Structures are given as C-alpha cells and as structure tokens.
Chains A and B, each alone.
Chain A
Amino acid sequence: MRGAHSGSFLLAIAASATVLVATVLFPGCRSSEERVVVIYTALDRAFSEPILNGFQKQTGIRVLAKYDTEATKTVGLVSAIRAEKDRPRCDVFWNNEIVNTVRLQKEGLLEPYQAIAAKAIPPEFRDPEGYWCGFAARGRVLIVNTNLVAPAQMPDSIYSLADATWKGKTGIAKPLFGTTATHAACLFAGLGREKAEALLESFKKNDVKIQSGNKTVALNVSAGVLAFGLTDTDDAIGEVEAGKPVVIVYPDSRPDQMGMLFIPNTLALIRNAPHGDAGRQLIEYLLSPDVEGALARAESSQIPLNPEVKVKARVKTPSEVKPMTVDFLWAAEQFDEAAAYVEKSFLK
C-alpha cells in the first residue's frame, strides 16, 4: 500500500516537473514561419526600444532585443557576443560607442555590409569595408556649474581639468569603461602614448574626482559638488534642460586646439548571424534619417551625422564645433594600452 502511495506521489512530482520544465523550454521554440531579428543594444532601453518597436510595426519582423545595463559594464553584450561566436545568437550589434565595435571587427566577429543608407554618413564615421557604420553621435563635453565658475574662468579644454585653480573640484567618469575609456583610447591614438599619459597624470595630480559614470559627473556638477567635469552631451543636456545652474562647454574647439571628440553609435552585422537578411533590413532602418531624427528629438539629444536629417540637434554638431580627428581603428589598437595604464597608474 505504501508502495502504491509512493508511486503515485512520484508520478505526481514527475508530471508537475514535466509541465513546469515545458513551460520554460516552450518559449524557446518558435514557429519557423515567424520572422525575427535579434539585436544587442548598448544604447539605453528608454531610447532604443521605441525605435525598435517602430521597425517591428513597419516590417512585421519581430525584434528580440537584449539591452545593456551600466551595472554590468562591458561584461554584458560584448562578452556575450564573444562567448557566442561559434554559434551566434545576435544578428545586429548596436553599440553606443565605437571602440568595442572595432575590437569585435578585429577579432573577426563582424560581417561586412555596405548599407545603402550608410552612404550619406561621413566617411570618417564608417568603416570603408562596411564592417560597421556610425550614426547618432554624442560629444565629449565639459559641464560647468555657473554658480561656482565665473564667466571669465570658464574652462575651454579638457586640459582645464588639470588647472590648479580647480584642484579637487573637477570630475571625470572612470576611464576604464564606456565613453570615457573610448576617450582615453582616442587620446592615446591622437596625442601619442607619452602625451596622453602625461595628460592623465596631470589629472591625477590635480586630484580630479573619479566618478562611477558620466551621469554621476553631470549630477554632481549640477549639485555644486564639483565645479565642472567631463561627460557626454546626453548626460549634460539633461541637466541643462532640467533648469540646473550648468552650461555645456564644447572643449578644444579653437583652431589651435585638438578638437572635440564625437563618439558615434555604431551598427554592425554579426558574422554568421542566424537572421542575416532581417539584420540587414534592420541596419538600413536604423541608419535612416527618420531614426536619427527621432534620436535627436529624444531626451538624449543624439547628434545626427547624416546631413539629410532635418531635425536640429539641441547640442552642437561636428559642423559647428571643430571635431577631433580620430582614426578609430588605431584607437581600438590603443585601447588595451590605455586601459592598462589607467588601471595601473591612474586609478591607484
């Protein structure tokens, strides 16, 4: 009798387990008729999701998106793409900067695609072989607290972060991750190793406050904790439009200065992508003037690179501010060296 009860008990457990496991596995099985495209996107979900929903609505292709989080840093999408290289799951990588995209290119993880819509993008923001294409850029700017910095003292260069007048009162994000890491790599590529290290060393000597992210820099400047700091245009414009006592300074834009760095979002097709055709269609859509216009109108105020975009950006564009001349391929080569220096010498 006890055996009968035990058998029934076990059968009940086994049946429950089968149902539960099936409900977990079932969503992984899709109809072969359904068209899907998988995109890994580093741009904030709040800005990228409406764009992707628009593509889905327009084409009927279901978009399966994986979004990044600041908390996981780069150990998110880029690491996932690397780990999945033998059987890619992602079709399109939408990065919110460029250096890691170029690094994936160098590792042979991208597939070239000469998008029709890419032809309008200036050549300095796209790969000549079509492995990636830039769009919707952000600028690396100084956000300055007008209550703490008089007009006559306004900084005009990233070198101002090393000005002894502001010792301990300036800030940058940790230059190991995100656009600040990209900026460090571009400085190593543009200035050369010695000058770039000297610049970072001068920041360290001037007790530049390292913050956890660009948004933190912007928030602390607007709160008056810092006098000014280096951040991205989307983080700075948020504080300006919130009515905080801050202004945006576009650094190094005089003819005798090195120019301001603009970092584009980048799109790339993954090698051996499972839904390559849909991925190409998505890339064409994302590079369209309408999408860049939408991103420019959004809260993040991304800077359109396509001259056909009619929407006026709320921040200055490369046609209004002297842009820094950057070989992004070379910057990607310098990334490891820059990161190693930052880690060993700058962040002690």
Chain B
Amino acid sequence: MQVRIAKIAGAMLALLAACLGALCVLPVLLMLAGTFWHHGHPSLFHLAAAFADTARLQSLFSTSAVVAAGSVGIALLLGVPAGFLCFRTNLPLRRAVIFACLLASCIPLYVTSTCWMALFGMHVWLYSGWGAAWISGIAYAPLVTLITGIAFAGSDRDLEDMATLDTGRRGVFWHASLPAGAWGIAVAAIAVTILSLWDITITDILMVRTFAEEVFTQFQLGAGPWNATAVSLPIVVLLAALWLAIIGFMGGRGEGTFWGRVQSPRLVELGSARYLLGALMAAVVAMFFVVPLLALIRALGSAGNLVTAWRTAEDELLGTLYITPLAATITLFLAVPATWALVRSRRGRWPILAGLIVLISVPAPIVGIGLIYLLNRDGVGAMLYDSQAGLVMAYVMRALPFAVLALWPAMKSIPREADEMAVLDGAGWPTRFRYVVFPEIWQAMIVAWFLSFILALTDMGASFLVAPPGRATLTTRFFTLIHCGVYPDAAGICLILMGIIGVAAAILAGFLWPRLWGTRCTS
C-alpha cells in the first residue's frame, strides 16, 4: 500500500513537472509561431519587414558579435584563472575572493558601467562595442570565477595523481584539471554570451547599437512583438547552434570528471609565486568588486540612508527575497528531471533539448509578451496572470536552461550500473533519486539554484511586463530610482541586498566547505 502511494505520488509529481515544463516553453513557442503568421495565414511578412534593411542589420550583427565575443573573452580571461587559483591552489585569502565573487554577482550591471563611466568619462573607447565588452566582461568575471572554480574543484584526484607520476605540474593541469573544468568553462561561456548579447542597460548608456536594442526598437515602431521576435531570430539560431555544438563536443566527455565521486581535490602549492599571484588577484577583485562597492558606498552617503533605502523599497525587497528563491527552487524542481531525461532517455532527449534551446536563446521582452498572451485569458490563466505566478514563471523560463547546464555533468557522472542495480533491487524512482542520484548531484544542485537565483534577481525585461500592478520587483524599483546615476536609495538597496545574500551565501558555503577546499597539497 505504501509503495502504491509512493508510486502514485511520484507519477503525479512527474506529471506536474511535465506540465510546468511545457507551460514554460509554450509562451516562447507562441511568439515564434506568431512570427510566421499574418492576417490569419502563414506568412513571411514579419521576417521581410524586420530584415528589409540588410545593411543596418549587418552593422548590428557585427557590433553584437564584438560585444558578445569581447565579453566572453574578457570574462574567461579573468574568471578561469581566478577560478582555478581560488578553488585549487593555496592562494592567500582565496576564501575572501570567492566571497567577493558571490557578492559581486549580485551587483547590477548598471552599477558596474556607471563606475567605469565615472572613471573614464566620455572617452571615445568606452563608447564603443569594445567598451561595452570590457564592462560586461568585468561584470561577469565573478560569475565565471565561481562556475569554473567549482568545476575545477570536481577534478578526479586519482587521475591527477596518475598524471603526476607521468608528467609534471603542467601536464597534470592540461590532461587532468583542465578537462575537468572544461564543462564549467563551456557553461560560463554560454551564460556570458547570452547575458551580454541580450543586455540593453549597458549598450543603451554607451550608445552601442546591438540586436538587443533592435528588438526594443521594433516594439517602439509599433510593429508589434512579431517583428521584434523576427529580428531576434538570427541570434536565436546562432545561440542554438552554439549550444548544440558545445553539447555535442562535450557529450562524450565529462563522465566522472566533473563532480563525480572524487575525494576532496588536492590544493596546488604555488610556492614563491603565491604572493605575486595574490597581488594580481587583488587587482582583479578590485576591478569587479571593490570599485563598484566603493562607488555604491560613496553614493549611499551615510549609514542612515540604508534605513531610508529599506523603507523606500521594503515591499519590493521582501517580495523579491521571497519570490526569487521560490522561483529558483521551482527551477531546480524542473531542471533535475529534465537533466535526467536528457542524459538517460533517448525519446525524451530531443524535445526537452529543443525546448531549452528555445528558452535560452530568446530575449527577455519576447518571453514577457509571450507569457501575457498565454496567461491573460479568463479562467485559470487569469488567476495565474493576476497573481505573482506569472512573475515566477518568467523567472523559471529565464533560469531553467542554465540550471540544466549546471546539472548536466553531475548527472552524467552517475554510473548507469548504480541506477540499474537499484532498479533490480525493486527501488522506485524516488528511492533511486534519494539514494543513487542525490548524493552525486547535491553540490551541482546548489550551483544550479544559486545561478537561477541570480538570474531571477537581475531579470527585468520579462518580469517587468508580467509583474502584477502594485507589486514591483526589486530590479524594477532599482531602475526607477535611477534616472542617471546611482542615488542614495538605489545604492542602499543594492548594499542591503548584497548583505542579505552575503549572509545566506556564507551559511550555504558551510555545506560546500570540506568538498571544495582540499586538505592536502601537491608538490
């Protein structure tokens, strides 16, 4: 009887997850389908209208490419070595650097750009694609540090020990450590590409024209969302191809090399280079954390303004601190079975992959409009739309693909034999999850949750459209306080948020402490 209840409950949960997953993808599919529909019949009208001026679009494409490629290059150049140094070496104050990265991930992109503009003024180089790439790259470097660092921390100690016997330190890095971190580097690269491509806050301030701005321009021209969706298609196709290429390249790799069942990773002893590298790391941290933090503190003015900021945005702060963790949790609830299906199921793999690619590639305003079209109907849809459920859905839609990417290697590292033995023992899927899957992926789940939380926290393009009246999100509130510049209330909100997240992150870090920081050093 108990087993039957467990099976029924399990089936219901699976059905719920499938329905929620489908709901997440439907709005975007609606928008994409509408792009090929005009006056009641299939048509390429919107595509023709959006791509009428090919010369301008080529210019937008090349600028977008500069911004994206530059952002990824700078973020990886800073973040990957930083990730390795912080998570795999005896770098001085590495835990403080990791903590700084956690907090820096919560600093809005707008604040980072304001700091650099304050430093360089209207210098020509800043107001260009390369300037936008520099600011984006700096701003996303902390996120890259965390993702790649945790990936490096999952390196197979046995493999590294064997490599040590055959090669030197460099060989260990190239043949054991770097392959372990490769998946994290790929996830970070995709994340930065997408975030920088579709961001408009920096490119708008720096007057850099990209495809992201073109999407907003199409809305402004009154062409409706269909032309806006049409104009985003080249980027959607490009991102989809990039994602498929990386998944295809990494598909046969990563088994047992990312999270795996490894022991605590060994720390690499830096020797005499320790303090020089520490100084370099301090300079990097100054760029992406200390400078924006000082700018925020300066804009805050006095500690009393923190209280004012809290009173100004108390509803939004509390609401956001409730909704975004909830959205991150729901994202995880969907991401785990989706990732399992991607890794293990042949039939379920391609529809789920297609849905995730669509979600990850489409710009935020399109997602928001799609949600309105789907939910703003009498009945259940209206109940969802008039509540914060629409907002939660928007967050989940934005974060789900990234959460799946973060879980993928950990899920892949679970040996099939362990799962098959559990099945032979008569274990149902809840038991298999609890005793076979969960012990292998719990750290990846924490990373996926944190990534989803940050993405939900910083989203505005989609959430602004679906947030019910009377309930602004914190990001929207932040931007309404900024007309141009970081004012005391806005700075206070940012600092309060960083404080709350910092405390929560410090508590969470306790769970990862023994796993991520090795207790022995290699020579």
Contact = CB atoms under 8 A, between A and B. Distances in A.
Contact of A14 (B2, B9, B465): B9
Interface string A197-215: 0000000000000111101
Nearest to A38: B469
B142 interface: no
Contacts of A46: 480-481
Interface in B429-449: 430-431, 434
A13 interface: yes
Interface string A54-91: 00000000011111111111111001101110110110
Contacts of B378: 87
A25 B380 CA distance: 11
Given A215-B483, A225-B121, A344 B56 contact: yes
Contacts of A344: 53, 56
Contact of B6 (A10, A72, A87): A10
A181 B217 CA distance: 11
Interface residues on B, range: 35 or more
A298 interface: no
A24 B9 contact: no
A28 B13 contact: no
Interface in A3-43: 3-7, 9-11, 13-14, 17, 20-21, 23-29, 38-40
A10 B13 contact: yes
B164 interface: no
Nearest to A174: B207
Nearest to A80: B465
Contacts of B476: 67, 69
A325 to B, nearest CB: 25
Interface string B200-216: 11001111010000011
B434 A9 contact: yes
Contact of A72 (B9, B386, B461, B471): B461
A3 B5 CA distance: 8
The prevalent SS among residues of A at the interface is: helix
A211 B207 contact: yes
Contacts of A272: none
A231 to B, nearest CB: 11
Contacts of A79: 219, 225, 365, 369, 465
A13 B110 CA distance: 38
B39 to A, nearest CB: 16
B196 to A, nearest CB: 16
Interface string A156-197: 000000000000000000101100010000000000000000
B6 A89 contact: no
Contacts of A348: 56, 59
A336 interface: yes
B217 A66 contact: no
Given A7-B5, A79-B369, A25 B209 contact: no
A156 B154 CA distance: 68
Nearest to B387: A28
Interface string B1-28: 0110110011011000000000000000
B491 to A, nearest CB: 16
Interface string B469-501: 111100010011111110000000000000000
B383 A25 contact: yes
Contact of A83 (B121, B207, B225): B225
Contacts of B329: 20
A340 interface: yes
Nearest to B472: A67
B480 A25 contact: no
A328 interface: no
B221 A340 contact: yes
Contacts of B200: 71, 73
Contacts of B387: 24-29
Interface size class of A (residues with CB under 8 A): 35 or more
Contacts of B323: 24
B56 to A, nearest CB: 6
Nearest to B382: A87
A3 B428 contact: yes
Contacts of B205: 212, 216
B13 A335 contact: no
Contact of B467 (A6, A66, A216, A340): A66
Contacts of B388: 24-25, 27-28
A90 B469 contact: yes
A38 B383 CA distance: 16
Contacts of B434: 6, 9
B389 A25 contact: yes
Contacts of A40: 469
Interface in A86-136: 86-87, 89-90, 103
Given A10-B6, A89-B376, A343-B56, A2 B431 contact: yes
A44 interface: yes
A9 B329 CA distance: 17
B302 interface: no
A192 B391 CA distance: 44
Contacts of A66: 467, 469-470, 472
A280 interface: no
A313 interface: no
Interface in B105-146: 110, 121-122
A44 B215 CA distance: 24
B174 interface: no
Interface string B371-406: 011001110001111111100100000000000000
B65 interface: no
B427 interface: yes
Given A45-B480, A348-B56, A6 B219 contact: no
B216 A39 contact: no
Nearest to B375: A87
B460 interface: yes
Contact of A65 (B217, B389, B470): B470
A212 B23 CA distance: 36
A146 interface: no
Given A25-B383, A79-B219, A343-B56, 6 more contacts: A4-B2, A69-B480, A72-B479, A75-B220, A83-B376, A215-B483
Interface of B: 2-3, 5-6, 9-10, 12-13, 53, 56, 59, 110, 121-122, 200-201, 204-207, 209, 215-217, 219-222, 224-225, 322-323, 326, 329, 333, 365, 369, 372-373, 376-378, 382-389, 392, 427-428, 430-431, 434, 460-461, 464-465, 467-472, 476, 479-485
11 contacts: A14-B13, A24-B326, A29-B383, A69-B464, A73-B204, A74-B216, A75-B219, A174-B207, A336-B221, A340-B221, A347-B209
